[in-house]
Amino acid sequence: MKHFVLILLSIVITLNVHAQTPLTEAVDFTAKDVHGVQHHLFDILDNDQQYVMIDFFSVTCGPCQDMAPIMDSIYHYFGSNEQELYVLAIDQMFNNAMVMDFEEEYNTHYPAISGIEGGGSMIFEDYQIPYYPSLILMAPNHEIVEQAISVPETTSELVDLLESYGLITIGFNKIDKEASFEIFPNPASDVIRIRASMAQNLESLKIYTAIGEELILKTKTAMLNNNITVDISFLDPGIYLLSVENETGFRTTKTFIKR
C-alpha cells in the first residue's frame, strides 16, 4: 500500500507543468550516491570550477525514464564528469535499491543520489523543486543560470544549450592546422563528410560510441579534394566519436550526432 501511494504521488507531481526552482544561487550539499561515492557541491563548483547540471527525478516518473538515455549521452559526451560539466541525478522519495534498479534498467552511468539514504528528498526541499523531471544548471560562481531547462526530446537540444555556455565536449581538441578537420553536416542522418584544412591522407579513421565501442575502422584512406564521405545510415540515433589519424601520426577526435 505504501509503495502504491508513493507511485501515485510520483504521477501527480510529474503532471505539474509549472516548474522551476525559484532560487538563483546554489545551495550547498554533501551527499553519497547509491554506490557510496560522496559528492560535495561547492567542492565541484569552487575547486574543480565545473558547471553542474542536476536532474531532479523519480524512478517511477515516465518522462524521467524517457530522458535517462539522453542524460547518459550528455554525461559521456561532456567527459563523464571529468571535464567542464558535472552531471548529477537526485531522486526524491525512493531508496538506494530502487535507484540502482533504475540505473540497471535504463543503462545509466552518471551518479545518482537516492531520496531516502542519499538525502535527495532534503535537497529537493532546499531547491524548492515542485515537480520532476526538473533540470537546472549552475555555474562555478554558484549562480543558477538555468532554473528550469525544458525537458529535451533529443540529445542535440541539450548539447546546443550546454555549448552556448562555452562547455567543451570530449571531441574538442586544440590542434594544429595540418591536423585539423571538420565534420559536416552535424547532426547528420545518412552520411558525414570529413573536410581537412589541407591535402593529406588518413592513416586511420575510427568511429566509436559515446562509451568507447568501436564501430567503424578505415585504414590508409586517401582524401579527394581534402574530403572523404562516410556512410553512417546504419547507426542508431545518438552521439558518436570520430577519431582521425593522419600520415604524421597525429590523432584528433571530434563528436557528431546521428539523427
* DSSP sequence for the chain: -HHHHHHHHHHHHHH--------SB----EEE-TTS-EEEHHIIIIIS--EEEEEEE-TT-HHHHHHHHHHHHHHHHTTTTSSSEEEEEEESS--HHHHHHHHHHHT--S-EE-SSTT-HHHHHHHHT--SSSEEEEE-TTSBEEEEEEPPPSSHHHHHHHHHTTT---TT-----TTT-EEEESSSBSSEEEEEESS---EEEEEEEETTS-EEEEEEEEPPBTTEEEEE-TTSPSEEEEEEEEETTS-EEEEEEEE-
Task: Tell me what pLDDT residue 250 has.
Answer: 67
One fold for 11-163 and 181-258:
no
Q: What pLDDT is attached to residue 220?
A: 56
Return the C-alpha cell found at 89.
541525478
DSSP 159-175: HHHHHTTT---TT----
Question: Which tens digit of pLDDT belongs to each residue from 8-33?
Answer: 444 444 444 445 799 999 999 999 99
- Indicate the domain borders of the chain: 11-163, 181-258
Cell 592546422 appears where? 177
- The mean pLDDT of 136-153, rounded to a whole number, is 95
Question: Measured between alpha carbons, how far is 149 from 167 in angstroms, rounded to an integer?
Answer: 16
Q: Which of 145, 221, 224, 228 is nearest to 194 (CA)?
A: 228
In this prediction, residue 33 carries a pLDDT of 97
Which of 18-27, 97-106, 244-253 has the lowest average pLDDT? 244-253
Cβ atoms within 10 Å, residue 15: 8
| Whether the predicted pLDDT of 246 surpasses 50 | yes
Percent pLDDT > 90 in the chain is: 47
Looking at residue 7, what is its pLDDT?
43
Q: Please tell me the pTM assigned to this model.
A: 0.69
Cis peptide before 140 (omega within 30 of 0): no
CATH superfamily of 181-258: Macroglobulin (MG2) domain (2.60.40.1930)
Instruction: Mention the CATH class of domain 11-163.
Output: alpha beta
Cα dihedral sign, 144-149-154-157: negative
Angle between helices 155-163 and 62-77 (to 10 degrees): 50
φ/ψ of residue 68, rounded to 5: -55, -45
Q: Which of 55-59, 200-204, 211-215, 229-233 is modeled with the greatest confidence?
A: 55-59
For 156-194, what is each residue's pLDDT tens digit? 788 889 989 988 766 544 334 444 678 888 889 999 988
Give the pLDDT score at 197: 60
* Range of weakest confidence among 54-63, 182-191, 224-233: 224-233
